[in-house]
A and B are shown apart, each in its own frame.
Chain A
Amino acid sequence: MEHKPNIDDLIKSIVHKEGLDAPSNGFTGNVMGAVMATNHKVTLYKPLIPKYILAGIVALLFLVILVAFMSGYQVPATKIPWLDKIANGFKMPHFSMAIPGEISYILTSALILVLIQVFVIGALYKRMHR
């Protein structure tokens, strides 16, 4: 890819000397008129609680529930029997289900393939709608 060094400078100087084309005089006014006429207020959506705080809250709740189940914690009895029933009704089940190795391999492979496809289709979609 060898070139005489002056070609870039020459093109650059020609392009700069020629300048850019300019639209008609009233262009800015027309655009601003069209923008105002759209009656569309551009505002950036700013959530009151940032995403990372929400994620933290959800993770914390999940952790608390998980620890409560694992430790067999009993909620103190209240005077409302149905609430006690709900609060202490859930017990950590003891799983004794045996999944054959082949099935777990198949499921894992399928999951990996789906994830790959999500990325591939996502990239394709982005390219089509750029």
Chain B
Amino acid sequence: MENNTDTIYINRILDGDTGAFKFLVEKYQKMVYTLALKLTGNKEEAEDAAQEIFVKCYRALSSYNNRASFATWLYRITYNHAIDTVKKNNRKSHIEKRDSGAEQAEIENHSFDEKIDLKDVRVLLKDAIHRLSPDDQVIVALYYYDELPLKDIAEIMGIKENNVKIKLYRIRSKLQELLQSKNEIISILNL
């Protein structure tokens, strides 16, 4: 159904109705911007990149074939463009720059200082997701938010489906580990 609506608008654009592109921009702008932000780590840069991505997408629309869904095709453009932007600016993403030791201390302090409940676990997990590498954050967004199949995520990131599976496993393990240590703290405090 989703794809059908996209196809209808794509056909309208290809028939010369440029205004129909607005529908696609409004529908996908949040995910495109989110992915760009996760990869560039800078709001302004992400917004510029997202704008360029949509223009690029519009210009290349005639080459889009229905082999993959429009979303997958657009996200692939997004991923490649954002990676190029980071490379062009010759810097590593903001998240990689962070000191992992400091992060761990921050998490631990957070655990002991405040009242521990499920809400707290959620906050901790949210923090942990934010601290994942940009690529891992992209996978989390595509898999858990957009609920895209692994095959599509692999297509977007230009890697093999098995690699996505492995990355997801590592992400889960990392977060699971964090939760387990949190549970241990809860059980100790309950005693």
B141 on the A face (CB < 8 A): yes
Q: How far is the CB of B149 from chain A (nearest CB, A)?
A: 15
The main secondary structure of chain A at its interface with chain B is: helix
Tally the A-B contacts, defined by beta carbons under 8 Å: 109
CB <8 Å contact, B172 and A3: yes
B161 on the A face (CB < 8 A): no
Contact-size category for A: 20 to 34
A11 on the B face (CB < 8 A): yes
Residues of B contacting A32 in the complex (Cβ-Cβ under 8 angstroms): 19, 21-22, 25
Residues of A contacting B164 in the complex (Cβ-Cβ under 8 angstroms): none
B62 on the A face (CB < 8 A): yes
Residues of A contacting B50 in the complex (Cβ-Cβ under 8 angstroms): 23, 27
CB <8 Å contact, B30 and A11: no
Known: A8-B172, A23-B50, A35-B54. 10 other contacts (CB 8 A): A7-B172, A12-B144, A14-B122, A14-B129, A16-B145, A21-B30, A23-B47, A34-B51, A35-B18, A44-B14
* Residues in A lying within 8 Å of B, measured CB to CB: 1, 3-4, 7-8, 10-12, 14-16, 18, 20-24, 27-28, 30-32, 34-36, 38, 40-45, 127, 130
